Amino acid sequence: MLLALEKLLVLQHCDQQIRDVVLTLEALPREKESCDRDASRAAQRLDAAQAQRRELEKELKKLDGDILSKKEQIARYKTQQLETRKNEEYAALRHEVEVAEKVIAEIEERQLVLMEKGEALTQDLETAQAAHDVEMKRIGKILSTLDGRRENLSQRREELQQQRPRLCEGIEEDLLERYDRLFKSKEGNAIVAIENNVCMGCHMKVTTQTVLAARAEKEMINCSQCGRILYNDEDELVLQKK
Ligand SMILES: [Zn+2]
């Protein structure tokens, strides 16, 4: 294999690692945002369950108050009954008492229905609370690793970037520029193998002439479709054994 090509492949391996590290680093804030969104959704679900429960308790309390005021009304009617001497008025008051007692019975029935509903809501709330706790634990775990991961990745990036100038040594400037441009435009794949007469970058068949030229190892060969620098896949095996 051409020495320059071999050097470029080693450089590309380093650059690909840098690229992966950078992409992972760039994804970390999005991961945090996604965690924050999940956390707020979990909180909202719990809030909704709590609000329903509170609403029901409020209504039950109000009904208690309604019963109390009806009972006070009845007491007043009974006092008035004791005070009156007129039979008609006495009968009218007795009727009022009966009406009020009926209202109380209705309210108590409504309370029973609500209490049953309350039991179901309590169950819902417990389920929501448990789901919330599980979700927050999961999110907490991810968030707690983010800083550590960022630090490790930054350190790795720095190490790789420190290696890079040494790997560039001995590569002609023009070639290096060409490689850099390709690496950027081809998303980290500037130099690719020819396998079974196919360019492993664009997966198009290359000409026999290109295959032979790559095997001859006299000059840098580019894929005529995608422009990537090509090497013979048999050379890869040689390279791996080194
Ligand atoms: Zn190609």
Q: Please tell me the predicted confidence (pLDDT) of residue 56.
A: 96
Paired residues of 222 in beta bridges: 229
Q: Strand ranges (DSSP E) for 105-218?
A: 191-195, 198-199
Residue written as token pair 């000059």: 219
Give the tens place of pLDDT for each residue, 1-29.
789 999 999 999 999 999 999 999 999 99
Residues 87 and 203 in one domain: no
Residues 163 and 237 in one domain: no
Q: Please tell me the predicted confidence (pLDDT) of residue 63.
A: 98
Residues 112 and 180 in one domain: no
pTM exceeding the 0.75 threshold for the entire prediction = no
Q: What is the CATH number of the domain that holds 160?
A: 1.10.287.1490
Give me the helix-helix angle, 87-168 and 3-83, nearest 10°.
170
Q: How confident is the model at residue 233 (pLDDT cuts 50, 70, 90)?
A: confident
- Among 113, 148, 168, the domain boundary falls at 168
How much distance in Å is there from the Cα of 191 to the middle of ligand 1? 10
Residues 58 and 154 in one domain: yes
Q: Please tell me the predicted confidence (pLDDT) of residue 237.
A: 54
Q: Please tell me the predicted confidence (pLDDT) of residue 6.
A: 93
Residues 187 and 217 in one domain: yes
Q: Give which of 23, 37, 42, 1 is closest to 194, Cα–Cα.
A: 1
Give the tens place of pLDDT for each residue, 146-157.
999 999 999 999
Separation between Cα atoms, residue 112 and residue 56, nearest integer Å = 12
Per the domain annotation, does 2 fall within a domain?
no
How much distance in Å is there from the Cα of 9 to the middle of ligand 1? 16
Residue written as token pair 């890079």: 164
Residues 179 and 84 in one domain: no
Query: Mean pLDDT throughout 172-178?
Result: 95
Separation between Cα atoms, residue 93 and residue 82, nearest integer Å = 10
- Among 121, 145, 168, the domain boundary falls at 168
How much distance in Å is there from the Cα of 211 to the middle of ligand 1? 12
How much distance in Å is there from the Cα of 242 to the middle of ligand 1? 26
Query: How many structural domains comprise the chain?
Result: 2
Domain that holds residue 91: 11-168
Residues 189 and 162 in one domain: no
Residues 150 and 212 in one domain: no
Residues 158 and 41 in one domain: yes
- Among 168, 186, 207, the domain boundary falls at 168
How much distance in Å is there from the Cα of 76 to the middle of ligand 1? 98
Residues 97 and 191 in one domain: no
Residues 28 and 89 in one domain: yes
Q: Please tell me the predicted confidence (pLDDT) of residue 79.
A: 96
Per the domain annotation, does 3 fall within a domain?
no
Task: Look over the chain and give the mean of its residue pLDDT values, rounded to a whole number.
Answer: 94
Residues 147 and 234 in one domain: no
**What burial class does residue 121 get, using C-beta atoms within 10 Å of its C-beta: 0-12 exposed, 13-18 middle, 19+ buried?**
buried
Residue 225 in this model has a pLDDT that exceeds 70: yes
